Each structure stands twice: as structure tokens, then as C-alpha cells.
Amino acid sequence: MLSSTLLAAATFSAGVTAHFHLLEPTWRGDSFVAPASQWTYPCANVNETTDIANRTLWPSSSGSILLNGSHPHALTTINLALGSDVTNFNISLVNTFNQTGAGVFCFKETGKANLEAGFKAAGYSGSGDARIEGLMATVQIIQAGASGGALYNCADIVFNSKAQLLSDDECKNGTGVSGVEIENVSGNATQAESPSSSGSAAPAGSTGAAGRLSPVVGSGMLAAVLAWGLL
């Protein structure tokens, strides 16, 4: 079960409403406290967790991500970098989607297919846990809300064959909280007035839910952002 600290954080109403908590995996440190700042790329000016014993254990097929957002809607991206002392978050676990509703949002097995592709691109061929057992990495979550500025939080992880996903009781979205895919929209004003009706939610308990969330490409991104009032 989630620790009492995480449960308290999940229900905590932050004084700075433009920020978000990263509850799982455990974030590097409290990015609400100076000199940390969620406005600072790439990891909110919080130092890496250097002690491997203090990193969150993650399954080789990818782990759970639980965050508590304060935006009514936020463009959200989840990236990963392999290794330690990382600066290049070149694995996109979850392409940009719109998290709607303020509150707790969860992916149970985050971007499984994208992680596997990232392993292969990095030279970790084959299959099974042994190829990446003990490999360190960092998860980066980016959110852009009403101000249009990007916010960052990071969590340091280590891949471990005994790591577990969050249970269904632990990994569930708050009331009114969901994820909607972002699709390209043309310059047609009628199309740009509202999100695509074909946008699908990201159910918290679904394996590979990120696979149904499409990235924004080309000039359509600006149109979609303007249409949803995110700038």
C-alpha cells in the first residue's frame, strides 16, 4: 500500500496552485522548497539520488507513475533517461497528452512498448530482466498548464526483477481526472474550438494505456493548445 507520506501528499492542497506532486516513483526531493523550482529544466533544480539504495525499484517492463496535479488541464509528457548523472531524456514513455481535472492521476505500467523500444535503441537487446538488472535511470514528468510555462519533476529509479507495480487500489484516478489524447487539428476555426471528440481517456488501471495517447505533431500543436486555453 502507499505509505502514509504519499497519501498525505496526495490530499495536500498546495499553496502554489501551478505546481504538481510526483508521488510514485519517489521524487528526487520536495520541489516546492527553495532552492528547488519546478520551473527549472530538467529536474526542478533537485540533485540526483546518488545512493542506489534510495532509488525506487522499477520492473523491467516499466513501473507505475502516480502524480497529483493542481491544473484543471495540463499538457503532460513522461520521459526517461538511462544511466546515472543523466541529461538526455531521450526515451518518451508517454507522448504529450492532456491531463484533465485537478487531482491524482496514475499509469499502472507506464509506456511499456516505448520503454522496450528504448532499451533496444540503447543496445540492451534480447529479453528478460537480466539484461537490465540493476540499471539506473531517471523518470522525468513535464506539465504545462494555464500559464504556458513548463514544470518539471524527476524521480531516480533502478530496474529490479522483484519490483512490483502499484495495485489497482493504489493506482486509480481521482474523481473527474482523466487523460485525453491530443490530435493534429487543421487551421479550420470550427475544428479548433474544442478537443477532438475521438480523444480517448487513459484509464489508470490499464496496461499500456499510453499507447492510446497520440503525440502532437507540427503546427497542429499550437492550434490545439490555443483551443484548450492552455496559453
pLDDT of residue 140: 98
Q: Summarize pLDDT for 42-74 with one digit per residue, the tens.
A: 999 999 999 999 999 999 999 999 999 998 999
Q: Summarize pLDDT for 78-98 with one digit per residue, the tens.
A: 999 999 999 899 999 999 999
Measure the CA–CA gap between 52 and 155, rounded to whole angstroms: 12
pLDDT of residue 122: 95
pLDDT of residue 211: 28
Sign of CA dihedral 181, 151, 166, 114: positive
pLDDT of residue 114: 97
pLDDT of residue 125: 84
pLDDT of residue 204: 40
Sign of CA dihedral 150, 155, 161, 164: negative
Measure the CA–CA gap between 90 and 18, rounded to whole angstroms: 26
Sign of CA dihedral 226, 229, 230, 231: positive
Measure the CA–CA gap between 217 and 215, rounded to whole angstroms: 6
pLDDT of residue 148: 73
Give this prediction's pTM.
0.75
pLDDT of residue 47: 96
Measure the CA–CA gap between 147 and 187, rounded to whole angstroms: 23
pLDDT of residue 186: 54
Measure the CA–CA gap between 129 and 93, rounded to whole angstroms: 18
Provide CATH code, domain 4-227: 2.60.40.1940
Tens digit of pLDDT per residue, the chain (231 long)?
444 444 434 434 333 456 999 999 999 999 999 999 999 999 999 999 999 999 999 999 999 999 999 989 999 999 999 999 998 999 999 999 999 999 999 999 999 999 999 999 999 988 788 999 999 999 999 999 767 789 999 999 999 999 999 999 999 999 999 999 887 655 443 322 222 222 233 434 333 333 233 333 333 333 333 333 333
pLDDT of residue 202: 40
